[in-house]
A and B are shown apart, each in its own frame.
Chain A
């Protein structure tokens, strides 16, 4: 029996720290947890994440064991001589990871990116067929 939550955010902080350690040269960059939506469809689940500024080339989406990790690197759009005169948001990279349950068919996961939104389709794995067990009489 699978759990009630086939996909759940893992300990983002732990993951973030680990990645940060492995790339200690770039520790002055911000790492943000992007907001996400998860909803059910007839075929499974769909995950959408806001990743403004992330291009197809700078997005990494990977599954290791049962952990789905997205990491988007944001490149600056500003010329080098530009000086901030009013700032309401910081620019940084996006990182978030999720634990997938067996309810998801890992091999059929697809993703696309448009207008700064990543959409990941997580199809439901086919239910195991009920198996009849032959009972033999003595």
Chain B
């Protein structure tokens, strides 16, 4: 699935991860984000007839805490996860939720109308819509001979 132009093109752990995923699917219950070494946040990319849709789970992130930029076919997302009010560390009895600043760059699929990109939040899920650019007509290349 080489939709992203850059990124990890060869990763020997991928297949093992898939196998573990398959096993966990059988159990139908798994900890969210239990694997380490994954880039935060995780993203999914879907394709429909006229657009790509990037989704990412970003709970505890207000729109003003999120920064989206696009340049040269790379979408850069950065943000800061924090809750209202500072809670001293010694008050915690259990701390499982990730926190702090993060940044992730994603090479976008080709033929995207970069200026038509839109993003919104639904209950902590970021949805970025990337409309496809219209297909160009095939261009005839004249051949000359002497």
A32 touches B46 (CB 8 A): no
Select from chain B the residue with minimum beta-carbon distance to A13: B29
Taking CB atoms, residues of chain B closer than 8 Å to A33 are 29-32
The total of interchain contacts (Cβ-Cβ below 8 angstroms) comes to: 142
Which interface class (under 10, 10 to 19, 20 to 34, 35 or more) fits A? Answer: 35 or more
B122 touches A86 (CB 8 A): no
Q: With a CB–CB cut-off of 8 A, which chain B residues contact A5?
A: 93
Contact B42 A88, beta carbon cutoff 8 Å: yes
State how many angstroms separate the Cβ of A75 from the closest Cβ of chain B: 9
In the complex, the answer to whether A50 meets B124 with C-beta atoms within 8 Å is yes
Interface status of A35 (Cβ within 8 A of chain B): yes
B33 x A35 contact (CB < 8 A): yes
Which residues of B (31-52) have their CB < 8 Å from a CB of A? Answer: 31-33, 38, 42-49, 52
Contact between chains at B3 and A41 (CB < 8 Å)? no
Tell me the smallest distance from the CB of B126 to a CB of chain A, in Å: 9
Does B98 sit at the interface, judged by CB under 8 A? Answer: yes
